[in-house]
Structure 1
Amino acid sequence: MLAMETPLLRQLLDALGPSLLRPLPARGEAAVPVSGTVVYERRVPLPPARDAVLLAVGVGTAGDEAEDLVRRAAEAGYACVVIKRFGEPAAELEAVAERAGITLLAADEAVGWHHLDAMISSALATAARPADAASPAVGDLFALANAIAGMVGGATAIEDPHRRILAYSTLPDQPIDQGRRQGILGLQVPDAPAYDEQYAALARSHGVCRFPTHPSGLPRLGIAVRAGSELLGSIWVVDAESDLDAAAEQALRDAADIAALHLLAARTAADVARRHRADLLRRLLATPAGASVVAPQLGLSAGAPVAVAAFLVAPDEPDGAVAAHTAARLADLVGLHCEAHYGRHGCALIDGTVYALLPAGHAGSSHRELVADIARRAHGALRVRVHAGIGSLVGSLHSAATSREDADLVLRALADRPGDPGPCLVATIDEVRASATLAALSQTLSGHARMAQGLGPAISAHDVEHGTTYVGTIRAYLDANSDIPAASARLGVHPNTVRYRLSRAEEIFGFDLADPDERLVLWLQLRLRAAP
């Protein structure tokens, strides 16, 4: 029997990388044995756990709670405590950990605790394998596929939960069938009802599944790859001669443990890359002059025509922490769909609004169709109303900020749209240009002194003081193009009531609605005063 290695903190840190988990303060003393993870819960007594990694969920870096937890963890035998700093200083907590004799680790704030728990568990499982069980470097999925093919004895494919083929083996003299050939060509498992049944069976199982028949011909072994309860993907091995025995099954089970860390690391690398592209898009929209520097990193030419789309959870949805969480999920959803259709050009969450860069080549109706589809999917997944606006197509990345301004104006126009909004509102700048122009005028003229003088403010003040409704009546009349029956229908009153109110307003405030200049200025004052 092969001796099992004792996992060390050094191995854990090497496997996960410094972007995910790093010691505080940074130093090389990582020869600390580690045995597993424990998630901290405030209302549950801290259990003793020799050499475990304590995930300090919800605990900051400052204050008595954090310091007390570090001391108690050291007394209970923990190897280290993992915190998230969120920009806070941690020098005092580091000193407490130093005195207590326990290692303090800082985790990437953007990585969920459940994700981090799964990655640490998989890394420790891999590190604890027999000392002579070689494994490819984390992240090299093609090398891993070849290693599995050699261990198990058949052509191997590694897939994600959506049946996309992430890697496949290339060892010679291992038979494959037509289904595998098609999958490799498109990096996607072909659609077939029989496949649906096999994947469903694999998802239910926690061991190796044998599939004697296969839509493409050759039998297979399959196993789901998991980190805890989370399904990360699957491994499939062709059993061409139907001779893969119990030893092959055991080898495939061992390979699934190793593959979990590889798949988690690959997903984390993708998350890091996505956040980097989001930072680049923020820079581009804030500082258009830097387009030449940012463009190559986004995979675009600085002279490429682009449009910017803006997505927003409807303003009347719940706010606070719930809204922030929903906006983050919306950003993830928009980013994934835009990457699938346009490539990895950037998606960013800025002040609650999700912005996506839409390159030319998909201009016109296809932009709108995709944005509308994303909005519908977001509504279905998040159960909130979503507004989406598409800015003008501009000639280069240097003008991307202009398209972003247009998209923002579209969102303002949609928010001010009367009537039942429905689950999703989507528009291009051309579809709401009049309303968007009014919104832009509101921004431009809101601080102008003359807009705060004259009839509009006087009528509004009178309504507040006397409880009258002259502002609403005049706006309805002007919006209806001086059509009294139409205005009365909007207000839900008799036409004679509208005539009386207009006559009284002219008497009280001394103006003439027949004067086109006076009517225009009054309409602007009343409309812009109510604009969002």
Structure 2
Amino acid sequence: MSEPSRRPGQGSLCPPVASVADCLQLPALREGEVLSGHEGLGASVRWVSTAALTRGCAPGEFRLLARLLGGEAVHAAADGGAAALAAPLVSAEAVAAGGALGLPVIGLTPGVDLDEMAVTLLDFVIGSLDGALTRLGEVTARLAATASDDLRLETVADTLAAATGTAVLIEDAEFRMLCFAGEAAIDDNRQETIRAGGTPPGFRASVEMRELYAEMARTGLPVRIRPDPTIGVMLPRLVAPVVAAGELLGYCNVILPDDDLGQQVTAVALEQAAHLFALALVHQRARDLGGRMARVGLLVDLLDGRLPAELLRARADQVGVDLGGGHTVALFDGPAEQRPEAWLRHAQALLSARSTELVDVVAGTVVALLGGADRPRALRWLTDLRTASGGGTAVLGRGTDAGGVSAAYREARRTLDLVTRSGPGRGAVVDVEDLGLLGVLIEASTDGSIDRFWRHRLAPLRDYDAREGTDLCGSVATFLEEGGLRRAARRLGVHANSLAYRLKRAEEIGGFSLSSPDARLELQMALRCRRLLGP
């Protein structure tokens, strides 16, 4: 990958001016030859002078000399911040020093009038500065007007893109795309970023890109990325961190225009816009926090069940939630190595098209109050949430009206606690309406006795299966579910005599008789508990 580089003058709001390369396009310098230091041709020129020596060069100075005869002279100019050195007579040592320092050393035509050339160059630099300041002032005015009228990410991005003629993309600190704007040409990498909803992990995984983003986080300054066809970056871009109160909130990424002046104006405008993006994000965070607090307060009050119905409806109206019709409580407890806020982000993303649902973290668990009576849809949402989070335990409560939410939540919470104590789930979401008699027992048991019951009842068979590599538990379960030996054998794909032998062994090892109605009921309950609640 091409190495990212910092633009000259980056990190300050110095007005953009002509570069050394721009100066070399003037008729007075067109016959000159760049002898070394080509990588410094993009440096800004802020002053032009003639002198006999290189000492005393100012930052950004283009110095014209009668002769440049030693490497020490070039080093002295570089120490002073010179942008370029030019002379009719240049020694090999001076050329070598310019190449080593990246300072352009230019050979001029013999007999050239250095004073006249200096006047021409200085007029050009001042004129360039005037034009750049005018254009930059226009961009600044448009950004300021946007900040005053409508301080949102989208409007600031639109203004920056329109004022600079660039393609703008804003991401948060985790590289999720927040918005993009601009009609300028984009390359394959930008197209992929937009399709993926943020910078692809493969792009930012290289050592160079990790260092680039680490540098931005450390310094708070923009960084330029050069084209690199191997990763689809065909156009140069400038990336600026969006920072507020020392916190990295995100990144602003612009594809630079072709002309040098446009790039310089864009660089300064981007630094100004980055501050506006930070303000917009902080304001948006405050709005979101206020809205979230109101919604989570309503959710907690519904789960608690003690607030009068009239007050609940009034609060629901304030946050745009319809408490009429049916509701279903859903609970999700994700992987232990993740924070609940991470589960919540997945949950909210999956509910993005259903804005009336209440969802937040309550007592360390994601709790959602889903509107409507579409249980298959709710089950799919919980299943998708488990997949997005990489595992976890999910429980779908009973359907109810607003008045019954509290009781439905308590039942779903007890079920979740029991499933969690029983160990890792098997991948299926537990629906309390499918528990039947087991659900009644769970409702009546809050001390873990259900968990202890099924584990104790099946312990001999589970231990034998684990030790011998058999599945006597599965054979007994199939026999009880099918209600007959031959049907169970067909389902298992074995001969009836083979199944009969397995069941006999299960009776001997488990200490029960399948001919006993009480034993069959106990085993059915224990096996159902095992299927729904345990590994």
Q: TM-score, normalised by structure 1?
A: 0.46
Larger radius of gyration: 2
Higher RCO (C-alpha 8 Å, min separation 6): 2
Q: TM-score, normalised by structure 2?
A: 0.46
